[in-house]
């Protein structure tokens, strides 16, 4: 299983961010081919170590890295990436990683 972790920086207007994110961006991103699950934090994460926490964390699951790459190259992936500029003006960090049970 491969996950994509999206860390959104604190927006200047959290109400506008939430409205756009949940009403517009999520429906676009949920069309990504190969997407197995899409989860978001229910509150801003707390910081155990480090600097300022992200405002919101989204975790998307795919079968493997090839599925992630195919999704990103698709028209839906291009639409999802292109939409970030419409609401994530404070910044966004996107990570990808494989997971296994231990």
CA triplet 55, 40, 50: central angle to 5 degrees?
40
- CA 12 – CA 90 distance, rounded (Å): 7
Query: What is the rounded distance in angstroms from the CA atom of residue 102 to the CA atom of residue 100?
Result: 6
**Residues contacting 21, CB < 8 A, separation 6+:** 8, 56, 87
* CATH number for region 2-98: 3.30.70.100
The pLDDT, as a whole number, for residue 14 is 95
pLDDT value of position 53: 87
Q: What is the distance between the alpha carbons of residues 68 and 75, in angstroms, rounded to a whole number?
A: 13
Q: Are 8 and 57 in contact (CB under 8 A)?
A: yes
Find tokens 């961010």 and name the residue: 17
pLDDT along the chain (102 residues), means of 10: 96 96 98 98 82 92 97 97 96 95 90
pTM of the model: 0.91
Predicted pLDDT at 45: 82
pLDDT for the residue 19:
97
């Amino acid at each position: 299983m491969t996950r994509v972790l999206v860390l959104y920086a604190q927006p200047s207007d959290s109400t506008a961010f939430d409205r756009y994110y949940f009403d517009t961006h999520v429906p676009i991103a949920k069309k990504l081919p190969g997407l197995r699950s899409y989860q978001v934090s229910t509150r801003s994460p707390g910081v155990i170590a480090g600097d300022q926490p992200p405002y919101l964390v989204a975790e998307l699951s795919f079968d493997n890295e090839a599925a992630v790459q195919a999704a990103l190259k698709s028209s839906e992936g291009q639409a999802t990436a292109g939409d970030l500029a419409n609401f994530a003006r404070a910044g966004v960090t996107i990570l990808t990683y494989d997971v296994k049970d231990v």
